[in-house]
Amino acid sequence: MWKVPVNQKPDQCLGEWIDREALAEAMIPLIGQLYRNNNVVTSIYGRSLINRSVIAVLKAHRFARHRQDDESELSVHETFPLVKAMSELKLGAASVDLGKLVVKFKAEGNGRSAEAFVRDELADVVGKQNTEAGHRKGQDVVLYGFGRIGRLLARIMIEKTGGGDGLRLRAIVVRKGSSDDLTKRASLLRRDSVHGSFDGTIIVDEENSTLNVNGVLIQVIYAKAPNEVDYTQYGIQNALLVDNTGVWRDADGLSQHLACPGIERVILTAPGKGKLKNIVHGINHDQITPEDKIVSAASCTTNAIVPVLKAINDKYGIANGHVETVHSYTNDQNLIDNFHKGERRGRSAALNMVITETGAATAAAKALPELAGKLTGNAIRVPTPNVSMAILNLNLENPTSREEVNEYLRYVALHSDLSRQIDYVSSTEVVSTDFVGSRYAGVVDAEATICNDNRVVLYVWYDNEFGYSCQVIRVMEDMAGVNPPAFPH
């Protein structure tokens, strides 16, 4: 735990804090202008700085000490000059991690000023503001279903709206549940028992059946089946539809959406059946082709375990293993004991641990064919509303130690192409609620790692709702071609 040096005085500590507050306040309008005018998204090791308060910005800087090799706190004095330089370069759309940019500036600045370094590092998008090369064409999006995942996808898309050149949520499709259905849908978006209140404003227009959410106008369409909707009537064209219902999970069923005017491609937020590609972003998203009209974003558990499995397999080789998922209860279970067609799922989710099956181990092989036939899996549903854990019990082809495997996974979380999928925590005090709102597919709990020669047991936390939704958004951005270049390289 970080401690104040004993030689510091109270007035000195307060003065330094006020100084950091002032710089953070100065950064916020620059970050906002970059976001709205240039479609530049800034973050610190995956923590977005868009629409954040002074305290949130400073906490993101403090958090960075867990992600830097020397575990030093990132200083706002280091990030502010880079942000200021970025604001003066008329940048095109980009995603910039300030934490990593500072590290690279320290290591490779070679005496250059912040302005010169940023100009060189972001050369691909410098001067591209409002040009065809630096402009992203917005992609219309329809959410078919508006349950837990659908509402979180809506929150994330609205948060990332920027200048409107990315994913543009145009409509949601639901079955009408009551005469005041629209008001109830707005209330569920506004209030969330797990993820908290929506950060913004929601205006309900009953007459036109729309929701105006932070300036994003969303048409609410009532339909009982896909073939009842003509999206072009609402000005929606070539849309990407995200099916959150789970009613159809194969190509034949999901193709019903493609027959609707205005829909061009479909993403399923559940494991796909048959020959559907199951995409885990960071692992096999490069397999999506323009010819793929329907893909699956796999399951939350598959997204949580596959990046870690790939990292381990790449370095040590996995001979075989077992995946045990300790999963929060879901809406498919009963609140109290009642009939359920599934085995054991009829018993109260709020009172019991319930053994059930998971297809995640098998699904992992769809994203990582080299693991085919090597993994078994099972699941236990537990009485918590969100955040789950995957326990990876693996037999490796090459021996290692606890210290080595932890340091390797820490490096992967920091520096690899999987840094948006894998997070890393080393604390003996973390519990499940600490990971609510995590934007990573999974978080390795280093203090829980067990290793004995070629046998390793890894514990991976994951927000099975929000972390998974972030992975779905990444797949959507790739399919829509609105994923901006990421810096530093």
Active site residues per annotation = 300
CA 406 to chain centre: 23
Three-class SS state of 410? helix
Whole-angstrom Cα distance, residue 399 to residue 208?
64
What are the residues whose beta carbons fall under 8 Å from the beta carbon of 62, sequence distance 6 or more?
A: 73, 74
Q: Are 271 and 278 in contact (CB under 8 A)?
A: yes
Return the exposure string of 428-445: e unless at least 16 CB atoms fall within 10 Å of the residue's CB, then b. Answer: eeeebeebbbbbbbbbbb
**Residue keyed to tokens 């071609």:** 481
> What's the rounded Cα separation, in Å, for the pair 406 and 445?
9
Non-local CB neighbours of 332 within 8 Å, separated by 6+ positions: 342, 345
Residue 486, Cβ density class (10 Å: 0-12 exposed, 13-18 middle, ≥19 buried): middle
Q: How far apart are CA 318 and CA 449, in angstroms?
A: 16
Q: Does the N-terminal peptide bond of residue 399 adopt cis geometry, omega within 30 degrees of 0?
A: no
Closest CA to 484 of 97, 23, 95, 184: 95
CA distance 356 to 240: 33
214: left (phi over 0), alpha (psi -120 to 50) or beta: left
E strands, 133-197, in order: 139-144, 167-174
The rounded distance, in Å, linking the Cα atoms of 85 and 118 is: 7
Pairing verdict, β 294-296 and 263-268: parallel
Q: Is 8 exposed, middle or buried (0-12, 13-18, 19+ CB in 10 A)?
A: exposed
